Structure 1
Amino acid sequence: MALRIPLSWLQDFVDLDQSPNKLAEVLTISGMEVESIEHLGGNWGDYCRVGEVQKVVAHPNADSLSIATVDYGTDQSLEVVTGAPNIRELENSPRGTPPKVALALSGATLVDPYHDHHPLIRLKPSKIRGILSEGMICSELELGLGEAHEGVLFLPEDAPVGRLLKDYLGDSILEFDIKGGFAHLLSIFGLARETAAITRMRLKSEKLPDLSRLIF
């Protein structure tokens, strides 16, 4: 059975200091076969950052487009043209907490959502209906995090503006091939306990939720 586990989740239970590739090698040699590693955010580099939408106005030449002014932790904001409906909704909404977003700068490598095979493309500044767009507010699909593309990805309110997205959202996904007879590995805590034993690292005493009231 294939089991996909984010390394960050495993680290919630085990103190690990190996690189993802080294950890996968050690676990596989010991019988916990890691079939593949997917590096989320590996293509973002320094070009994708946490941004904060400061202002949204209607595009003067296109009813379906908006112009968003985004702060990304430097002295200058960036103007981005977008057709995302959840950004367009902010044009007439009362001013509240500015939403945090994933901002891609010129030079970023992103997933192209408009082709069947979703190739990677390099972002360049472009004029969209007469307005220069210097970046992109990204959806899950463009970042390679999921399939959602109807709107942009909103980040938690406490996301630090200007932080590199690879440091905030980047992760490594380990895909384990769990063979028969190893049912104890079919949970995150079972995997963590085995990983701690193999690597001789400390197993954290995570406080598990009390489910007694849910048991009849």
Structure 2
Amino acid sequence: MAHPSQLSFQDAASPIMEELLHFHDHTLMAVFLISTLVLYIITIMMTTKLTNTNSMDAQEIEMVWTIMPAIILIMIALPSLRILYLMDEVNDPHLTIKAIGHQWYWSYEYTNYEDLSFDSYMIPTNDLTPGQFRLLEVDNRMVVPMESPTRLLVTAEDVLHSWAVPSLGVKTDAIPGRLNQTSFIATRPGVFYGQCSEICGANHSFMPIVVEAVPLADFESWSSSMLEA
């Protein structure tokens, strides 16, 4: 969960999000080094009038500032491609959930169970209890077992939506007539919040997503109670 005055990302709750955080730090360091070098050259040019000397026309310098950007791009591209392939992999999921976007709420269908499906609406501000978050709490959370590969099928019934939970490193567009697929593994128990990340209409900001990761035994108890209800 984000907190006031937070400068960085939310704490990672999945291996993919941990990889994304490492890649962000890696890329940010490259940007920092480039910015420092450019600022240094600009400062030298302004203070010593380097442009009036022949050193700026040297072939060695031309080679350096042609080859170095190519090397930096490769250093950024290779980790990026690796993470993209990891995000697309779905290896033997233990649970498959179908998320359907509506104006303006989410529906969830647990395809491993015959009759386990429900709608997830935002709780109005007047109905919140102490400790609940405004505009983020829902009446029915999407419960998943922790440390279990979960496949998520995302679609929409009316307009474009986007199912996004930052802590899990998941952001998948929900497109009417199309089924998108992603996966995640919740590595720790907790409640993780997200929101629709597509401008889908007047109540776009009022269709939150809440994922609760629990131990397998608790998940089985929850699923049994939902099926009985």
Greater share of helix residues, 1 or 2?
Answer: 2
Specify the structure having the higher radius of gyration (Cα).
2
Task: Calculate the TM-score normalised by the size of structure 2.
Answer: 0.22
Q: Does 1 or 2 have the higher relative contact order (CA < 8 Å, sep 6+)?
A: 1
